[in-house]
Structure 1
């Protein structure tokens, strides 16, 4: 992100030198790793939208004005000051507005300013937006055991099929985010953009991940048969693709006969899930558009959390959640009415 690089410079009182110039470049490189590429792109878009809005209002985005930001949030919720049904512009959801505010706070920090989100001009407007417009969160549907097996069965046994089967089974058994799947390397420090590495053992695969919540280890045991075993699927892909260094999951040639060196994008995982959901006939009673909207990369994590009949604390550790409450959000209907407080209270 160019704004981040521009902000890291020497103090005016310090004379430059070759060594210090190199350290500036190193610091800028580290700064660019402070958030994921997708997050940085989103923050850049947030800032561009806000600065354009300020120009249209005849205002300057710098320094931060809590009053103007409060008005900006109100305009996102009800563009033009009109009710959403009357507005030409589409109002943003509460979660999108909250995310947009986080983007502004990050951008101001990069420019040496502090944005006080608790300032009354911001906090009260945001609280009012949440009270009036908040809706229950829309969750993607979980991919359950029979679903993942049906999806994997739609794939062939050429290189591309071996790769995609390993992605689905590993992502499901590991409860992995799509970014975690594609960021894996074969070994530690194989590539500068690595998000972790794998160790294949007799008992299974040990994944060491530099994830959203920090470093964590994920144990993926071997399955009950080769057809459903994520570790076997991974071994098959690595063997036939002749991958022993660098990214675990790479693109293939157009004819599907050769593995290339280029790391897969996390968007491939999302496309793969939607493609195989359709091919497997999952939720076939719905129109195709609705079926596609139900599933995403997070459906793999939700599927593991909903299907694994083990103590909740093991699922929480496996998914890398800081709280049990977050884990329960992924457990689609699994725990409903497991504890009946009505009967426990004597009714």
Structure 2
């Protein structure tokens, strides 16, 4: 068993510095630090955090089984994903979903690559086992419920307009819906350009609406959110009201409320708060009242806002695809709960 402190503590292995070994002149040290920063920017903070957790999980399993974690061994990795799929005691006794196993495998490939020791996931000890896991355990995707306009209106009524928290929550729900934004995109917004180091974009309030500039997985994109037909449901008006009463002109757009609910704090909201807000407001509004109350929260998430826009916006599909930032129309269609699946009827087209 490895005696390395990295394995003992279950910590993700550090990415190797691209700088040459030995003593370095100041210019090379500066370049090394910049290179490390660029390497970190290649993946999102959430991805790196998830990968670190997965490496810790794998290293802990190796330690308990008396196996070496630091050297990439396809046979060991094959045994590990088998343990995850079968819910072995050595991994906590709980079966992992196929998507979780695939993410854990991606984390191991990434971690070993950072050490200059590539792991070949096409090796038969990994690829064959993973194919069997998919065939045995893969389940159809479970889509979250779409928040439709009538649902959103009911949810907005549960937000107290007399409090800062209520004003913030109204703005988040409306901006998330009208922009078709992911939860990390909502909480990652700043009040202006180049204001924070951890921001994922910024806003510009224009006469015709709101221009949102976002940094995504494939680069920068712009999302245009037009003004609504009524001040009560206008996402831009809701945002302007929040900014006014919260006195926010720079820094994170959506923040925690402090001081007994009287003022916004300096810290950015965690993106999980968007999912909690959607679940809480949906429950308070009585959505899906036909189901037991304990079953309702699992139906809704931050994605429910994106799905709601995709399902209810009566415009050409290409505009919805652009708003959501999807690379393909097929991905957009997965979000459209109301679309006519049989609009193109190949049965009739074939003469039957």
Q: Which of 50, 56, 62 is matched with 2:64 structurally?
A: 56
Partner of 1:151: 155
1:252 paired to 2:260:
no
1:195 paired to 2:195:
no
Partner of 1:305: 310
For 1:112-147, what per-residue CA distance to the aligned partner results, in whole angstroms no more than 9, with x for missing partners? 121212222211111111111111011111111111
Higher mean C-alpha deviation, range 237-246 or range 291-300: 237-246
For 1:66-121, what per-residue CA distance to the aligned partner results, in whole angstroms no more than 9, with x for missing partners? 1211121122111449xxxxx98121111111111111111111111212122222
Partner of 2:114: 110
Query: Which runs of 5 or more structure 1 residues have no equivalent in the other structure?
Result: 82-86
Q: Which of 174, 179, 182 is matched with 2:184 structurally?
A: 179
- CA drift at 1:64: 0.7
Q: Distance in 1 between matches of 2:215 and 2:32?
A: 25
> What aligned pairs does 1:51-90 form with structure 2 within 5 A after superposition?
51-80=59-88, 89-90=93-94
> What aligned pairs does 1:1-347 form with structure 2 within 5 A after superposition?
3=12, 5=14, 7-8=16-17, 10-12=19-21, 15-80=23-88, 89-157=93-161, 158-347=163-352
SS at match of 2:337: coil
CA RMSD of aligned residues (A): 2.1
Q: Distance in 1 between matches of 2:56 and 2:12?
A: 11
- CA drift at 1:201: 0.9
Q: Distance in 2 between matches of 1:130 and 1:143?
A: 31
SS at match of 2:296: helix
Q: How does the TM-score come out when normalised to structure 2? A: 0.91
For 1:29-85, what per-residue CA distance to the aligned partner results, in whole angstroms no more than 9, with x for missing partners? 33333322222221111111112222233221232111211121122111449xxxx
Q: How does the TM-score come out when normalised to structure 1? A: 0.92
- Cα distance change on mapping 1:40 and 1:234 into 2, 3 Å: same
SS at match of 1:315: helix
Is the Cα contact below 8 Å between 2:11 and 2:56 reproduced in 1? Answer: no
How many equivalent pairs are there? 341
For 1:137-167, what per-residue CA distance to the aligned partner results, in whole angstroms no more than 9, with x for missing partners? 1111111111111101111112211111000
Is the Cα contact below 8 Å between 2:178 and 2:235 reproduced in 1? Answer: yes
SS at match of 1:7: coil
Q: Distance in 2 between matches of 1:119 and 1:325?
A: 31
- Cα distance change on mapping 1:58 and 1:259 into 2, 3 Å: closer
SS at match of 2:344: coil
Partner of 1:84: none
